[in-house]
Structures are given as C-alpha cells and as structure tokens.
C-alpha cells in the first residue's frame, strides 16, 4: 500500500461549473487543496481533513421591535426573542472548533465515500449569557437544557454510501446506495425551490468556517441515473428515512423563533415558555385560577417520524442544437422539512362562553373561581409534526451565451399541498374557543371565559375532541433565473481593481402562494403575530340582556401593541447575488486573496410562513475576504448587516435588523 501526500491544484473550471458555486464553493474552488492520496493495488482513494476555529461578535444593540411586549419590547409576541435577549452588543456569539474528514475509495467501477464532522462551541458549553427581560423568564441568561445540548457540541456522520457504474444495454447506469446528497434543479440562492430532497442544517451555514455543502443534510436513499443516449438521461431516488430542517439551536443568536428551533421543549403564547406569569397547560392544579399575565405555556413533544416515502424522478435532455442547453423535468413526492403544530382540544366540560344570569365582575387576569376552560386545556394536547404528501413538478434549464461570457440557469416549479401557517394568535384563540372561551383576558370572573372572534370558523357545540393544525394546504409557484458573468483580466473594471478576474452571480426569484389575503383571518409571517381584527364577543347575560366585556380586544388589535399592517401576500420576490474577485499571489507573498460581497433584497410582497422567501424592503449584506495559502491554510473575515422592513412602531418584520455581527475563521486542510 502506498500513501502519498500532495497538493492538488484547483481550477476555476468551465463557466457552467462556476455558475453553480455558492459563497463557500466559490471561495474553496480557488488555489490548492491538500490531501492524502492512497494507492493499494487496484484500489485508489484520498483522505481530506479540515480543521477550523472561528468566532463571531455582535455589533448592534437589540431593537425593541424584536423583543416581546411581555419582555419589555414592542413585538406582539415573546416567542421570537430568546436569542436576541441572550446576547448583548459586543458579546461573543460563538467560539467554535470544527473538524470534518472525508474518505473516498475507488475500485474499478465501484466506489465508497464516507464523510463525518464534529464541532464544539465554548460559548454554548459555558452557558453564561446576558441577563435580560423579567426575572420570571424560565431560561434567563442561559440556554435551555435542550438548546444547550444542541448548540455546544455534536459529532455526526454525514455521507456514507457505495456507488457503482454498470453497462446496461450499451449505456451507463450509475447507482448510489446510502446516506447522500441529491441536489436537483438550478437554484443557487433560492431555498425551497426544486431542491427539496435534502433538508438544510440552518445553523451550520451560519457557523464561521462552515462549507456550503455542510448545510445539506444527507439522508439514506437509493439513487440511480441512466444515460439513454442522444442527450437523454433519467434519474430517480427513493428515500429510506425522513430528516427535517435542522434549525438554529433554541436560544442561539440566530434563532428567530423560540418554538420552531432545534431543541424546542414547548410553546409560549404571550410570554416565554414556562414564564412564571403564564398559565402552564397540564399543571392540573385545581387551585390555579389562571395567570398573572395574558400568556400560556404548553409542552410541545415532537413527531418527526417518516409519514410516507419520499421519492422522485427526473428527465434531462442535452441539446447541442439549442445552444448546448440542458433541460430538466422533475417530479418529487415528499414530506415537508419544515414543522407545524397539531392541536387536539378536548371539550370535556360544559360550555363556558356564555353567562346565565351571573354578575359580570372584573378581575385583572384569570377567573374566580377556576374556569372549566383551564380543565379543557389541560386535557388537550399539542404536537410538533411535519406535514406529508407534498407534490412538486418542476422544469429547469442551463445554458451559456458565449458571445457575452454569460451563463444562464433557471427553473420554475409548482408545489401542491404546501403547508402554510395561519397566524399564531388565530390558532391560539380558536383553541381557546373550542375549550370554551379565553380564560386569560382581563375582565373575566366567576368561571366565565369569553369567546374571541378571530375570523376562523369554529363549532360552538363540538362533538368530542377537535383536531386543529397551524398549517393549511395551498399551492405554490416558484420561479428563479440566475445570470453568471466572469470578468477576465482584460476587463476595464477588473484591471482598475488590480484583480486577476472577477465573478458576478445574480439570481432573481418570484413566489406565488394561493392564499386569500382578503380572507377573514390572517396568515403567518415573521412579525405578523399581532391581534389585529380580533374582538371579544358580546355576552348573553340573561334572556334579552347583552353584556359587553369590561375589557376587550378592539377590532383594530391589542391597544398595547401597534400593528405592522404588512400581512403575507400571494406574490413575493427579490434578488440575491454574490460578487467576488481573485488576487492570486497577492503582493508576491504566495497568498491568494478573494474579497467577496453577497447580498439579498426583497422587492415586493411577503412570503407566508414557514416557507423561505422574501419580505419587501428587507435587505442583507455579507462582506468580507478570504486569504488562502497553498490551499492548506486560510483566514476568512466577514461582516453581516441587515436593514429595512422594520415595521414602524410595532413589531419588526425583519428578525435580523438588530443582529449585525463580524466573524473570523482560521482553517487548515490536510
């Protein structure tokens, strides 16, 4: 057996290849890469290991529009602010070390590929975060137990598969079996387009030094591709397991939700989960008359089992006659990688939403005596789950316009039965209504809890338990087009900058969801969790006598919290891009320097949650450089800034408007 260590020269490759490179891929493609090459008879292979250490620092102070009203801010909900409250300006967000190793072996027409990674974050492990918000917050100044477990360290296998090439009827058949990444479609920056086969590790893409491919989570499957000849090929897959998006760890700086996060334990409405002021569902305390604040907490177990089998098929046709264009046609049946909530409301006790001649007295919060609504809530259940049976049909193309030095990549997709969230308050108060009314509004007394009109229909005389979900099913269209241009040394701008070359990638996208924006109730998007349009129903105190609640939610919303007035829309769209330049052997030092600038901007509309998309006027900028020596040692420094879509005086529509940061990473590849 022979083992050789050598440096492999990387290359920029064809324009078509560069057009598929993201930030990580584009920066990694330059220069040299170290590897250990293996040769043992007919077996050849390589081992590549990368080590990195990096940190990030918060530069902006928190914006009260991103802090819940219950925690001293102006946002309608306290369910999105744990990560913001946990870190002050100039705090270190992470101090993280990462190791990734991959082994590739080849014997004749067969191959084996294995890749694994591990990381450790000192900041999360130490768990000494900023103390902010009221003392009643359960996890004040620290990660929750589950959140810390997800954020401080992990080691996991990524890819592990065997592959083979076979001659079938004179044409090539390639097969892969095992945990792998299968990236269909042409979108580079637009998430949740045709490329839905593999989920995304959202946290890993934000960690300093993480490679772009580390964000795609391999899943066990069998995939095969067959060349028919004449430019026609077919590809298909069948998945053996389900894996959801791996979201940010609960309480981490980039977590924009305290419920739909990695390590979630429960849901808090109005207040944080397990805030001492809120009513804790399931406590089953007959002496508990309600809450000290308009909030409720509930445990949220997760059901992430595969509900069906993900599978898909793709046809590709390469046409030299049509300007060397490749076309793709795709069909995928899959389970949503993004979560929702399923609620069972158990209406065990008699109706509590009307008065029968009882005096209507005011109490600050809760009810005296204990409302039977609380008993009904205690016997209900909430579960985080992943909706299944979503279908996708897509078309794609890629080509080049050689005379302009431009590559074009585009796709359009239609998805059927995509989960779209209704607004959290709509679901919450509908659950209250099915339980007999809202026991938490000020002005309730004598076991009475009023119904709250949300616009969402409910049966006032349900028979048995009622099943509700946060999501509705809708159809969605997604279209995107990317233009890639490489500017050579002879270009005037490149020459002026003193660079060897520059690359520009611009991708525009539009999304259509068939929701009814003028319907009787609202859909969800970040910052849109206000109570706009809600009001408390007048009460039948006695035959012919109508009593108004002493404290009610007016039709224009909760008077304490200004609304943002920007609900989700059917159409939304924006532009994203990446520009980078090459400075090989800068200053004669042997160091290759690659400055880069990535950006995104929402041009129109607001994409309904939980689907990734755009918000009008929300802009982000990621600026930095990478210095590389021999493709083995590198330093990357980057700065992130987001602005726009502040939402006026109420809650912000931009979760990152106050999360500017600077990051630095040192890495070594061998």
Domain ranges of the chain: 2-265+300-339+386-422+470-528+564-669
Instruction: For residue 551, give Cα distances in angstroms to 2, 295, 538.
Output: 81, 16, 11
Query: What confidence tier does 371 reach under pLDDT thresholds 50, 70, 90?
Result: low
The answer for residues whose C-beta is within 8 angstroms of residue 335's C-beta and 6 or more apart is 242, 306, 307, 308, 310, 386, 387, 388, 389, 390
Helix (H, G, I), strand (E, B) or coil at 603: strand
Instruction: For residue 432, give Cα distances in angstroms to 97, 373, 450, 520.
Output: 46, 8, 9, 18
DSSP code, position 249: B
Plot region of 544 (φ>0 → left; ψ -120 to 50 → alpha; else → beta)? left
Task: Give the least confident one: 23-32, 306-315, 569-578, 634-643.
Answer: 23-32
Contact 454, 521 (CB under 8 A): yes
| Full 3-state SS string of 309-331 | CCEEEEEEEEECCCCCEEEEEEE
pLDDT at 607: 94
pLDDT at 339: 92
pLDDT at 449: 58
Contact 393, 477 (CB under 8 A): no
Dihedral (Cα; 45, 26, 256, 523), 10-degree rounding = -110
Contact 505, 15 (CB under 8 A): no
User: What sections of 334-413 are H helices per DSSP?
Assistant: 372-378
Task: Give the least confident one: 31-40, 159-168, 393-402, 589-598.
Answer: 31-40
User: What sections of 143-195 are H helices per DSSP?
Assistant: 145-152
CATH superfamily of 2-265+300-339+386-422+470-528+564-669: Porin (2.40.160.10)
DSSP code, position 606: B
Instruction: For residue 608, give Cα distances in angstroms to 125, 262, 480.
Output: 35, 21, 18
Query: Can you tell me the mean pLDDT for 362-367?
Result: 39
Is pLDDT of 590 > 50? yes
Residue 133 and residue 140: Cα distance in Å, rounded?
A: 7
Structural tokens at position 622? 């990621």
Helix (H, G, I), strand (E, B) or coil at 184: coil
Task: List, for residues 229-239, the tens digit of each pLDDT value.
Answer: 999 999 999 99
Q: Of the candidates 269, 650, 649, which has an alpha carbon nearest to the alpha carbon of residue 441?
A: 269
Task: Tell me which residue has tokens 């004749």.
Answer: 108
pLDDT at 220: 97
pLDDT at 208: 43
Q: Could you give the count of Cα atoms lying within 13 Å of 604 in the half-sphere of its Cβ?
A: 9
Is pLDDT of 4 > 80? no
User: What sections of 72-206 are H helices per DSSP?
Assistant: 82-85, 122-126, 145-152, 202-206
More confident residue, 287 or 670: 670
pLDDT at 377: 76
Contact 284, 268 (CB under 8 A): no
pLDDT exceeding 90 applies to what percent of the chain? Answer: 52
- R_g of the chain computed on alpha carbons: 27
């Amino acid at each position: 057996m022979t083992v050789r260590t050598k440096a492999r020269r990387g290359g920029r490759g064809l324009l078509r290849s560069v057009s598929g490179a993201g930030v990580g891929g584009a920066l990694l493609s330059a220069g040299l890469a170290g590897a250990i090459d293996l040769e043992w008879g007919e077996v050849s292979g390589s081992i590549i290991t990368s080590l990195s250490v990096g940190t990030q620092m918060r530069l902006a102070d928190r914006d009260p529009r991103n802090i819940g009203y219950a925690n001293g801010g102006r946002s309608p909900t306290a369910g999105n602010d744990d990560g913001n409250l946990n870190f002050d300006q100039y705090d270190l967000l992470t101090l993280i070390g990462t190791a990734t190793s991959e082994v590739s072996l080849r014997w004749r027409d067969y191959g084996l590929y294995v890749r694994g990674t591990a990381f450790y974050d000192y900041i999360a492990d130490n768990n000494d975060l900023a103390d902010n918000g009221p003392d009643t917050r359960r996890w004040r100044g620290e990660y929750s137990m589950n959140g810390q477990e997800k954020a401080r360290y992990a080691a996991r296998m990524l890819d592990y598969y065997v592959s083979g090439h076979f001659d079938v009827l004179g044409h090539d058949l390639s097969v892969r079996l095992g945990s792998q990444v299968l990236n269909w479609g042409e979108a580079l920056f637009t998430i949740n387009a045709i490329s839905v086969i593999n989920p995304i590790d959202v946290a890993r893409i934000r960690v300093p030094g993480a490679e772009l491919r580390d964000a795609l989570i391999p899943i066990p499957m069998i995939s095969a591709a067959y060349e028919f000849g004449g430019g026609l090929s077919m590809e298909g897959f069948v998945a053996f397991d389900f894996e959801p998006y791996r979201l940010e760890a609960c309480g981490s700086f980039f977590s924009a939700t305290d419920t739909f996060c990695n390590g979630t334990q429960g849901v808090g409405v109005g207040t944080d989960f397990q805030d001492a002021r809120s009513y804790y569902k399931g406590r089953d305390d007959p002496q508990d008359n309600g809450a000290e604040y308009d909030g409720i907490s509930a445990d949220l177990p997760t059901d992430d089992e595969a509900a069906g089998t993900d599978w898909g098929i793709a046809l590709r046709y390469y046409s030299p006659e049509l300007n060397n264009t490749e076309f793709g046609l795709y069909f995928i049946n899959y389970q949503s990688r993004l979560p929702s909530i399923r609620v069972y409301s158990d209406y065990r006790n008699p109706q509590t939403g009307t008065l029968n001649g009882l005096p209507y007295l005011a109490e600050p919060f809760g009810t005296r005596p204990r409302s039977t609504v609380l008993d009904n809530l205690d016997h209900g259940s909430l579960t985080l789950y992943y909706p299944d049976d979503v279908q996708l049909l897509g078309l794609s193309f890629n080509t080049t316009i050689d005379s302009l030095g431009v590559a074009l990549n585009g796709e359009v997709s239609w998805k059927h039965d995509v989960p779209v969230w209704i607004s959290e308050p709509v679901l919450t108060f509908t659950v209250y209504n099915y339980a007999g009314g809202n026991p938490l509004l000020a002005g309730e007394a004598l076991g009475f809890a009023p119904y709250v009109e949300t616009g969402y229909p409910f049966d006032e005389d349900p028979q048995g338990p009622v099943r509700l979900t946060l999501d509705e099913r809708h159809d969605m269209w997604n279209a995107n087009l990317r233009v890639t241009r490489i500017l050579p040394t002879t270009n005037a701008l490149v020459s002026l900058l003193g660079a060897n070359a520059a690359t520009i990638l611009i991708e525009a996208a539009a999304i259509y969801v068939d929701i009814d924006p003028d319907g009787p109730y609202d859909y969800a998007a970040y910052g849109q969790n206000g109570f706009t349009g809600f009001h408390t129903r007048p009460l039948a105190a006695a035959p012919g006598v109508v009593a108004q609640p002493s404290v009610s939610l007016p039709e224009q919303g909760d008077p304490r919290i200004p609304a943002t007035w920007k609900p989700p829309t059917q159409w939304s769209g924006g532009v994203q891009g990446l520009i980078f330049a090459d400075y090989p052997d800068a200053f004669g030092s042997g160091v290759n320097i690659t400055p880069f600038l990535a950006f995104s901007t929402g041009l129109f509309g607001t994409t309904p949650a939980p689907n990734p998309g755009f918000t009008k006027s929300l802009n982000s900028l990621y600026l930095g450089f990478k210095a590389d020596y021999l493709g083995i040692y590198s330093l990357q420094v980057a700065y992130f800034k987001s602005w726009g879509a502040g939402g006026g005086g109420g809650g912000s529509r931009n979760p990152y408007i106050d999360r500017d940061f600077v990051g630095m990473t040192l890495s070594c590849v061998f």
